Amino acid sequence: MKELLAQANHAVEKLRAARQDDLYPRFHLAAQAGWINDPNGLICIDGVYHAFYQHHPFDEHWGPMHWGHATSRDLVHWQHQPIALAPGDADDRDGCFSGCAVDDHGVLTLLYTGHVWLGEPGDDSQLREVQCLATSEDGIHFTKHGAVLTPPEGIMHFRDPKVWQQDGQWWMVIGAKEHDLGQVRLYRSDDLRNWRFERVLAAAEHARQGYMWECPDFFPLGERQLLVFSPQGLAAQGYRYRNRFQSGYLLGNWQPDGAFTVTQPFSELDAGHDFYAPQTFTAADGRRLLFGWMDMWESPMPSKAHGWAGALTLPRELSLAADGQLRMQPARELTALRGAVRQFDAVRCRNQRLPLEDELHELQLTLDTADSDAERYGISLGGAARLYVDNQAHRLVLERFSDDPALCGCRSVPLPAGVSLQLRLFIDRSSLEVFVNDGEACLTSRIYPLDGDRRLNLFAEGGAAYFSAIAGWTLDSIWR
C-alpha cells in the first residue's frame, strides 16, 4: 500500500498547487484538493480528534475511494495528514468505502468497506462488499489486515460499518439491501475480527421507505436509543424528502440481546439542500457530536472548476428534547474562532432592505414574529441566498439562487411556535448552516455567491418586521 499512498499523496499535492480558493472553506473541514464525501472514522483518542473522509485525490470527481485524514487537539483547529488508506488489495481493489474508527486497547483501529466491481465499474448490480480492518501504532500510518466480515448469501450491497464497545463486547451496524429494500444489520464480536450475526435491527417494509439504507449509526442519547441512517429511494412528500437522498433517524429502545423497539417514526435530521451520510462520535468529555457531508449526490458542484469538491458540516452537539425530537447545535468549541463581537441596534424594517456588514461569518438574530406582519422577512446574502419567514405559508424558508437552475430552489421547516424566532447562521465561502431555536431545526446548503457578492441585508416585503437582537462575528480559519 505504501506505493499507492505515495502516488495518492503526490496527486493531491499537485492538485493543491493549482487549487483556487474563492469557494474553499475557511472553517469547514475539506480535503486539500480533489473530491470528498462521507465523514469516516470520527474519534477522539489519546487527546487527539481524528476525522477521516471518503476521498478521491486524483481529481475533483468521485472515483476509487481513499481515506483522507485530518487531526485536531481542540475540535476547532485542524491539520491535514497523509492519506490513510488507498484501495488496491484483493478485498478493496476498487475502493476503501465508508466506515469507522475505534480504540482497541490503545490501538487506533479502522473498520471500513472493501469494494470490488465484479462487472463494469459503476455497475451496482455486480459488486462485492466486505468489511475490512486496519490498525495504526502512531495514528498516522495504517496497516491493512483484510476482510473480517463477508455478506450473507443473496446480499451484495453491504457497507458502512459503525462499531462500538458495550458490556465487554464489540457491536457493529451495517447498511444493506435485501430484495430491493433497505435494512440495518446488527453483528457482535469479542475481538473485532470474528463477527456473528445478531439480527436485522430495522428494515424498510415497502419501497416507499427506501431501497438501500446507508451509513447507519446506533447510539444512546439520554435514556433512548437512536438509529441514524441515510435511506436512498424516498419519494418527495410535500415539503419533505426534497433532496436526491435523505438522512434521518428512528428513535426507540434497545438493550443487548434484545430487539430495537421503535417509538418514533423516521425524522429528517437537516432540512437544507446539502446534508448526507452523518456520523457521530464521542467527545473527550462524553458529549455526542456529529459531522455530515455538506453536499448532495447528483447536485452541481461549481467548486470542481477550482480543483476540489466536497466539505463536511461544522461539528454539532446532539441532545434529545422532552418530546423526543433530536436537537443539533454547533459544538461549543467553535466560539474560539470568533473575533470581536459586532452588535447592531434593534430595528423595524418595513418594505425595505437594511445593510449589515458584509464580512461577518457568524450571525445571531432574534426575530419578533408576534410583532411582524410582513409577508416575507429575514436576511439575504448577496444574490446567492435568502433566509426568511413566509408568513402566509407559516414556514421558515432557505432559498438559494444561481445561474444554474439545478442550484436554485427552496427548503423549509414549519415556523416554530412562540413569539420570537432565534436564528444562528454560519456563512462560509460556499456554504450556509442555519440553526433554529437552539437546534430545534437545521438547514444546511451549499451556496455560490456570484462575482463575490456577499452583501448582508435585512429585508421585509409586504409589511413590517421587527429584528429585536442582532450580533455578528468574523471567524478565523481552522487550518493550521
320/192 Cα distance (integer angstroms): 30
Cβ 39 vs Cβ 293: under 8 Å: yes
Contacts of the segment 322-329: beta carbons below 8 A, 24+ positions apart = 324/224, 324/251, 324/263, 324/264, 325/267, 325/440, 326/221, 326/226, 326/249, 326/251, 326/267, 326/269, 327/438, 327/439, 327/440, 328/269, 328/270, 328/290, 328/435, 328/439, 328/442, 329/435, 329/438, 329/439
**95 phi/psi in degrees, rounded to 5:** 160, 140
Residue for grid cell 473527550: 284
Q: Confirm whether 345 is a catalytic residue.
A: no
The C-alpha cell at 260 is 430495537
* 437 DSSP assignment: T
203/200 Cα distance (integer angstroms): 7
* 152 DSSP assignment: P
CA 227 vs CA 48, 260, 269: distances in Å: 26, 9, 12
Cβ 95 vs Cβ 65: under 8 Å: yes
346/75 Cα distance (integer angstroms): 34
Contacts of the segment 237-241: beta carbons below 8 A, 24+ positions apart = 239/395, 239/412, 239/413, 240/268, 241/268
Tell me the CA end-to-end span of the chain in Å, nearest whole number.
27
The C-alpha cell at 313 is 458540516
274/6 Cα distance (integer angstroms): 32
CB-CB neighbours of 63 under 10 Å? 17
215/197 Cα distance (integer angstroms): 18
Cβ 453 vs Cβ 403: under 8 Å: no
Residue for grid cell 445571531: 364
The C-alpha cell at 348 is 423595524
Cβ 173 vs Cβ 217: under 8 Å: yes
Catalytic residue among 21, 22, 38, 180: 38
Residues serving a catalytic function are 38
